[in-house]
Amino acid sequence: MGIVAGLDSSPDFTRIVVCDADSGAVLRQGYAPHPVEAGDGARPSDVDPQAWLLSLGEAAGGGLLEGVRAIGVSAQQNALVPLDAQGNTVRPALVGNDRRAQVAAADLIDGLGGREAWAQAVGCVPQAAQPVTKLRWLAQNEPESAQRIALILQAHDWLVWQLLGRPLRRTTDRGGASGTGYWSAASGAYRPDLVELALGRQAALPEVLGPAEPAGTTPEGLLISAGTGETMAAALGLGIGLGDAVVSLGASGSVMAVHHEALADPTGMITSLADATGLHLPVVHTLNAVRTLRGAAELLGAPDLEALSDLAMKSTPGAHGLVLLPYLEGERTPNLPHTAGTLAGLRREAMKPEHLARAAFEGMLCGLADALDVLRGRGVDVRRVFLLGAAAELPAVQTTAPALLGAQVVVPQPADYAALGAARQAAWALGASQGTLDPRTPPQWQSAAVQVFEPGEELPVGKAVRQQFTTVREQTHPGAFGGAAS
């Protein structure tokens, strides 16, 4: 079919990959950071969307897109781009986890009648990051701007619209729509009443496209696919399917899995997202992942995480009875926003640096295993777990994760999977439009190069470490999971 491109507009940069449409082989790449105006006084959560276009243009320089027949767009999730009736931005886009909106989130939860009402309505409970919450914040704090809003887009919607020359038709995809807080992955429909609850009135929303449906074609004949959010694009780039889960090891953590249906969770621990293929991506977030390791490294005087890993490898499973509940920033899963971390099991023989290092790794992974069990407890099948993030390369993670997570662990080689997923979507839309690909099935691309780790004989040991962790968690925070995790 020729060549296609995927572009990923992350919070900080644009990366473009140009791929062979049939195999997925990367032919060339481009990169550019978003321009930042020095000393303009803007908040980090307020961004002029033109910055995304400028870095896109720079990343695509030097003829990078020559010969490309279709482009897919992945972009940061939770960005709210408010436009007026002429299609101009009313104010800078609100991006990221905007802490200003925490009160607005609480207001919205109360306004609909509680967490369960939201979970049933759209599959998630409002958080500060979500567009629906940012709309409420605007209505409360910038009423003049809120009054001018005629159309609400997200980052990938806006970029696709710009690439197509700002046509009358505005589009999004299931994946992006499912994170807004006003579209339901279960029903596949918008909830305009929730936009009105947040903003105080209605506004136009983009049309939600199917996975292989193109958003349009440029005057030059370049097909633009539906686009999607970064999480969904990364899942498509990795090639995960039913039975797969992805654990992301950032400062905070997330666990997502592919499932055949949307999950409504009245506790709010599960965010029910749609994926970019027609299936669903239930996600559970933790506030403490690699920040647990960094804290332990600072406490022990280890110069970096590699040194902390080497130290932990000198200990044994169970860390001589030391258990670290890694709730250093409070915790979201379980819902303990105002708690602190706990170090339990201190005995004289356990008070060695290697045991504390081991407890930090085990505590982080047990916390993520708890999150994984929230999904398993709702019937989500997990046969293998993809580990993402730089910490996934650490020996102390690779040797302990399979037994603690209770599954085969796969560590893909580092790559921009969101950009690859966007390119795969472009190839799918191109093939479907030509009649050479099934619109229900994405193209089969070569799999990512991976390392595979099996739990093997260590599984009983992992269960014992999990039980040690669970006992301390239940003693310290009785009923924190309400029976959702074991």
Mean pLDDT to the nearest integer, 359-364: 98
| Phi, psi for residue 330 in degrees, rounded to 5 | 70, -170
pLDDT of residue 41: 45
Closest CA relative to residue 77, chosen from 36, 12, 122, 129: 129
Q: Which residues pair with 93 in a beta bridge?
A: 47
How high is the mean pLDDT of the chain?
95
Backbone dihedral region for residue 96 (phi beyond 0: left; psi -120 to 50: alpha; all else: beta): left
Question: What is each CA distance from 111 to 8, 200, 334, in whole angstroms?
Answer: 35, 12, 24
The pTM for the full model equals 0.92
Query: How far is Cα of residue 308 from the mean position of the Cα atoms in its chain?
Result: 27
Cis preceding linkage at 334, omega within 30? yes
Cis preceding linkage at 192, omega within 30? no
pLDDT of residue 448: 84
pLDDT at 444 over 80: yes
Query: pLDDT tens across 316-327, in order?
Result: 999 999 999 999
8 Å CB contact between 448 and 413: yes
Mean pLDDT to the nearest integer, 175-187: 96
pLDDT of residue 43: 54
Closest CA relative to residue 174, chosen from 280, 333, 90: 280
pLDDT band at 485; cut points 50, 70, 90: very low
State the first-to-last Cα distance of the chain, in angstroms, to the nearest integer.
49
What is the rounded CA–CA span in Å between residue 32 and residue 79?
20
User: Hey, is 281 helix, strand or coil?
Assistant: strand
pLDDT of residue 37: 66
What is the rounded CA–CA span in Å between residue 28 and residue 10?
19
8 Å CB contact between 245 and 284: no
What is the rounded CA–CA span in Å between residue 174 and residue 238?
18
What is the rounded CA–CA span in Å between residue 334 and residue 285?
10
